[in-house]
Amino acid sequence: MPTRFKKTRNKRGDRKMGYGRVGNHHKHPSGRGMAGSKHHHKTWVNRFHPGYFGKNGMRQYHLLRNREWAPAINVNEIWKLVPEDVRETVIKHNEKAKSSNNPNDIKAPLIDVVEHGYAKVIGKGRLPLSQPVVVRARFFSKRAEEKIVLSGGRCLLRA
């Protein structure tokens, strides 16, 4: 907004600028930020930020978060990590192999889950039984491993 339209331009000469004789217009009348959160703003903190005060759990002195890093992906979402062109070529190739009665010629795409930002494969959902996949990850749940092997694929561990 340009300066000429601001309220202060209109209020010049009014001495109190419309902020009155009693209350006045002071800079930060109740403090800045979280000031008074244990005193005059206590009800506000309790209402809008419950659990702000206090502790829970045990302290771990030298916590290294990257040792706990293990984002998980479900079995039914693994195929989304395969690029579209690779998916189409693999499916076409496998259809030809099945029609020519050569089951040893079936291809399976290699999906490295860690390169996509995941570390663990867990077993929710289904994999297409006709299409095997080779999955590389740091961790596999039992159910995920069963489902991948059942579809004809492999589970490879990596660092």
Separation between Cα atoms, residue 144 and residue 121, nearest integer Å? 6
What does the block give as tokens for 81?
């990590």
Among 143, 140, 139, 137, CA closest to 123: 143
What is the pLDDT at residue 103?
Answer: 67
Residue 45, H or E segment: helix 42-48
pTM > 0.85: yes or no:
no
For the chain, the maximum distance between any two Cα atoms, rounded to a whole number of angstroms, is 96
The neighbouring-strand residues paired with 154 are: 134
Poorest-confidence range of 28-42, 65-79, 97-111?
A: 97-111
The average pLDDT across 5-28 equals 93
The rounded mean pLDDT for the chain is 92
Q: What is the mean pLDDT of residues 7-36?
A: 94
Quick one: what percent of the chain has pLDDT higher than 70? 99
CATH number of 65-157: 3.100.10.10
Whether pLDDT at 136 is above 70: yes
Q: Evaluate if residue 112 carries a pLDDT over 70.
A: yes
Per domain, the residue ranges of the chain are 15-56, 65-157
Q: Which residue has the higher pLDDT, 138 or 96?
A: 138
- Higher-confidence residue of 129 and 142: namely 142
Task: Check if the beta carbon of residue 124 is closer than 8 Å to that of residue 95.
Answer: no
> What count of other Cβ atoms lies within 10 Å of the Cβ of residue 147?
23
pLDDT digits (tens, 9 = 90+) for 37-60: 999 999 999 999 999 999 999 999
Token match 């996509």: residue?
116
* Residue 111 to residues 63, 95, 140, Cα–Cα distance (Å): 31, 20, 14
Task: Say if CB 148 and CB 133 are below 8 A apart.
Answer: yes
